Each structure stands twice: as structure tokens, then as C-alpha cells.
Structure 1
Amino acid sequence: MTTIYFAAGAPRWTRFEAPLRSALQDAGIEADLSPQCADPSLVDYIIYAPDSEVQDFTPFTRCKAVLNLWAGVERIVGNPTLTQPLCRMVDPSLTAGMEEWVLGHALRHHLGMDRHIQNPDRAWDPTPPPLAAERPVTILGLGALGQACARALQGVGFPVKGWSRTQKDLPDIASHHGDEGLKAALTGAEIVVLLLPKTAATENILNAETLALLAPGAALLNPGRGHLIDDTALLAALDSGTVGHATLDVFRVEPLPQDHPFWAHPQVTVTPHIAAETRPKSAAKVVVENIRRGQAGMPFLHLVDPTHGY
């Protein structure tokens, strides 16, 4: 009997219990799955979310892996008590949700939809937008999500280039890396998408200096991490017109405080961290596949490298 502790909170348990039990049955795994843990020393796997009340992993001496339900792991990867393998969530449905959010908001800004939807003066301006092929897009972060979004944007004609901290050899994407590569990737970009993890090296990667490299009036989309942007610098860039609009899905503090300037700024759209929400039915299959692999002595999928933070 495999003992699985669901340490991701009661609200998630109500949504995940049935999909997890179904996936375990389909995989032929006989398991004791519970949101309660009477004896940590008997737990084989922990299904986890970083906002869990479990923050000390020391008692879980038999645990083979901690299986995160979120793609982001910055709130757990530095935990000094975590000695067990940590696997992040890589889910096709999560990727599809991110693609749709990025493509939808990129097209919204590209086509100038806001000025037609919100047109109280009934202004009649028949000037068409440029074609997608004339609107350069830059994606910061070329992991699985960044590459998927790049392909989606390319599919409707946008010229896409990307940047990552380390060199990526991607046949269909003009990719850059390093400090000089970041400047090359951002210079002249009219739409910028942030899909980097939060690390010491990526915090405030968009600041006064780097925002100044964008094409005047560029649109900024951040479904990655709130810490990637210097909020004060972004507000100044919005006020000066350096940035034309920012659509933000993630923030340094969530929920975004009611008195935060982003709420009131006319050139900011706030979405409530919905770009790539974990969906129980598909995520359960990802988690159970790693449990199956662990029981079979196979390598885990989507292992986190603590030295890189993701």
C-alpha cells in the first residue's frame, strides 16, 4: 500500500480527490490517499502546494518525492528541510491555458480592441492596425511555457524572438541569452511577454533601464511572476508613454491590495492570477505518473534543480 499525503489544503482536496483516485485506479496503484497525516514517517509521497501548512519536511523520512501542484516552486525550493526530490507541475492543460491567455491579450493589444470596446465619444477612426507580421514580440523565458507561447504567436504571424538566462538552441525561434542578449531581445519590441521563474537573477529584470529599450508605447504582458518587474519603474514608464499598456496576471503580493496603484491606472489591466491555473483532472494524471515511476524505480519527471531554483 502506497501512502500519499495530500498537503495542499482543504479547498483543493475537494477538487482533487476524485481525479486523483481515478488516476490512481487507472494506473493500478493501491494507495492510502488522505489530506490527514497521523504519522509522517509512513508517507511515501506528498502532493503539495507551497501555501501548505507543511513547511518542515524533516519528519517525512520515508518520502520519495514532493509533487508540487504549481508550476512555480520559488516558495519551496529554498526550504532547508526539503531533502526529498521536488517535482514541479508540467501539465498540457496548464500550458494550453497559458497559450490562450498570452495569445488573447497579445491580439487585444495588437488590434487595439480597447479603443473600440471603450469608445464613449463614438469616435470613428477607420485606421487599421498593422498586420501581425509587422509587430515584433519578445518572450522573456524560453522554457516549456515560453516555447509554447512563442509557437502560438508565430502561428498567427507575429515575428517572435526570445531570451533565456542560458543558451537555448531552438530552430524556429530567434533566441538570445546573457546581458547583451537581453538588450538585443528587448530593443524595439512592441509586445513583451514575461514567462521567467522568480530567482535572484530574474528579479526586477524589467526596470527603468530595460523598459527604455522597448518600442515607444509597447504592450507588456506578465503571466510569469510579479517580482520580474520593478513596479515603480513600470508606473513611471506608463505615465511617460514608454509603455503603452501593461496587462498583469501576477503580483508581488496576492491578492493585489485594493490600494495598489495598478488598480487605478488607466493603462493597466489586472487579471487575478488565472493565466495558467492548475486543472485537477489533467494535473492528477501528471502527479500519478510520477508516483507510478517512483514505485517502479524510474526517474521522476519535471525534477527541480535546487541550484537553479526551478
Structure 2
Amino acid sequence: MLLLHLSDVDEANWAEKFRAALGAYPVVRRGDDFDPADVRYIFVWKPKADAFDGLTGLEAILSLGAGVDALLKHPNLPDAPVVRFVDSDLSQRMSDYVVAHVTMHHRLYTRFRADQKARRWNQIYPPAASETTVGIMGMGVLGQDAAKRLVPLGFDLRSWSRTPKAIDGVEGFAGAESFDAFLAGTDILVNLLPLTPETTGILNSATFAKLRRDRLDGGPVIINAARGGHQREADIVAALADGTLGAASLDVFETEPLPADSPLWAIENCYVTPHIAAISNEATGVRYFTKIIEDHKAGKPLINVVDRDRGY
């Protein structure tokens, strides 16, 4: 039996699509009449405190989100494999966001928008893409896809990850010992890291001060489309005000929705989007997890299982 426990999404619609895909295999929702001991798989998003109560026969936890940091903090998370959502459509959407904001900042949009408002004709020429280094933090599925789509645009690319990754067209840095060297040659910093104790708050004043400053007019730029827990928003506000950063694109925040009194809303060189960089698509999500369930029932191993020690 598959149990759906989804918050803040249309659970009924997901259930309908799973029932159509899984045929005779039972699919239930919270509030339905079922025996919790019969549940073998639970499909979750923002599970409540009682989500796993009575699930003594659970074989796998299926996570709607690509990131599982919040799920791993659940106080009653069972000792069952956690499978994360890995999907080409989700990766494409995230890469669309990253490419759009990288190219916007590379072409000095903040500067020219200010000039337009001031009716000021100021012919400052952006550096060539090949003279601009985009540094991507996180070389998982999303980071690798973003790099693959930026390579043909001619940017100089570098990456930083926990362990070494060899990606064509990307200079790789790995481990804490190489972090400063990675930052020193980066003009546009893109964060796609998983949120772990080691990466919490990594977007802070110390990090910003180590970015390269001699390429982009106005200063280096950060783009965060990963998790709000990666950033220290007070540090971002200060860095945008004093010129340590030339601009920032933020899709995630320490508190969501972003409070109306947050100073980030009013900063002209800060671009705020409401956690929309990538979304889990119902059609591809149902197809992905249906295959996982059917393969597992047939004795095949689960794929994309989270390493709880690493946190992703």
C-alpha cells in the first residue's frame, strides 16, 4: 500500500494520478480507512508530526522534494530508506533559473536599469562571457545540469563540492581546503548545495569578501536557489549596501514566505523570487515514483537513496 502525506500541495490530485498509474495497487490518503501496518511506501512533502505513526511495515519513504534536509529533521522519521526525487524536468527548470540570472548579472542589468531610471547614457561594456567566471557550489544532479547548460554560452566555469567531480569544461575544486581558492576566482557565485550542518550559513560576509572584485562593474554577485538556511540575510543586506556584493538573486529565504518587513524587498540590486526556481511536476513525479515502487516490488534495489550521514 502507498500512503500519501502531502502538505501545501494538491494531495487529492496526486492520489488520483497514482491510482491510475499503479492500477490495482492500493493508494490511500490521510483520513482514509486503512490499517497503517499495511503501508509499505509513504510519499511525503512537509510531513506532520504524526505522519509515520503506526507504519510498522514501511519499506521506503518517497520524498516529493529534491532536497531532504527538512525531512531528515523530522522527530519521528523511521529507520527506512529515504528516496529523493531526481527528474530531468525539475533539473531543466532549475537550470533555466540559473542561466537567466547568470546572464542577467553578466550583462550588468542592475547598472543599466539604474541608468535608465536616471536617463543616463553610460556606455559601460560588460566583460565577455569567457572573461567571466561562474562558480557553482554543489555538483549533484542540479549543479551538473546547470554547468552543462552554461558551458555552451562561453562562461569560464568552476565548481566546488564535498568530493572531487570531473565535469567537462569545468574547473573542479573540492573540500574545505580549496574553498578560498575557488572563491578567489569567482565573479558570479551560484549556490546549489544540499543543506547540511557543514553548509548552513555558508553565504555569509566572510564568503562574500573572498570573491573576485575586478571583473563585474559593481562587484561580484550571488545566486541562491538551494535553501534559505544557506544564507545569512543580515550579511547579504550589509554586503549589498557597502559594495561587497554588486547584486544578489535569491529564490529561498531563512523564513518563508519572506516577511513583509524584510529589508531585502526594497534593495534595488537584490532580486527576490518566491521559491519558484524549480517545481516538482506531477506527471513526471508520478511516473518516477511509480517505477520505483514497481521495481522495488519486483525485487530491484531502490535508486537515489539518501545517505543520512551526508544529509543528501
Residue by residue, what CA displacement relative to the aligned partner does 1:113-171 show, whole Å, maximum 9, x if unpaired?
A: 34445622322233332221111110010111001101111121111100011222334
Q: Which range moved further: 72-81 or 185-194?
A: 72-81
Q: Which residue of 2 aligns with 1:271?
A: 273
Q: Which residue of 2 aligns with 1:220?
A: 222
Q: Which residue of 2 aligns with 1:104?
A: 100
Is the counterpart of residue 34 in structure 1 residue 33 in structure 2? no
Under a length normalisation based on structure 1, what TM-score does the superposition of the two structures give? Answer: 0.92
From 151, 159, 175, the counterpart of 2:172: 175
Is the counterpart of residue 59 in structure 1 residue 57 in structure 2? no
Is the counterpart of residue 72 in structure 1 residue 67 in structure 2? yes
Q: Which residue of 2 aligns with 1:46?
A: 42
State the distance in 1 between where 2:265 and 2:38 align: 47
Q: Which range moved further: 84-93 or 168-177?
A: 168-177
Under a length normalisation based on structure 2, what TM-score does the superposition of the two structures give? Answer: 0.91
- The residue correspondences of 1:105-254 to structure 2 (distance < 5 A) are 105-117=101-113, 119-216=116-213, 217-254=219-256
State the distance in 1 between where 2:287 and 2:60 align: 16
State the distance in 2 between where 1:249 and 1:164 align: 21
Per-residue deviation, 1:307: 0.8
Tell me the number of residue pairs that the alignment of Structure 1 and Structure 2 aligns.
Answer: 303
Q: Is the 8 A contact 2:84 2:305 kept in 1?
A: yes
State the distance in 2 between where 1:94 and 1:23 align: 20
Q: Is the 8 A contact 1:58 1:82 kept in 2?
A: no
Kindly tell me: are residues 287 and 270 of structure 1, through their superposed partners in 2, closer, same or farther at Cα, counting changes over 3 Å? same
Q: Which range moved further: 233-242 or 121-130?
A: 121-130
Structure 1: gaps of 5 or more residues = none
Q: Which residue of 2 aligns with 1:7?
A: 5
State the distance in 2 between where 1:58 and 1:11 align: 21
Residue by residue, what CA displacement relative to the aligned partner does 1:96-117 show, whole Å, maximum 9, x if unpaired?
A: 0000000001111111234445
State the distance in 2 between where 1:97 and 1:73 align: 19
Residue by residue, what CA displacement relative to the aligned partner does 1:221-245 show, whole Å, maximum 9, x if unpaired?
A: 0001111122222222111111111
Question: Residue 69 of structure 2 aligns to a residue in which SS?
Answer: coil
Q: Which range moved further: 157-166 or 172-181?
A: 172-181
Q: Is the 8 A contact 1:4 1:47 kept in 2?
A: yes
Amino acid at match of 1:293: D
Percent same amino acid among aligned pairs? 35
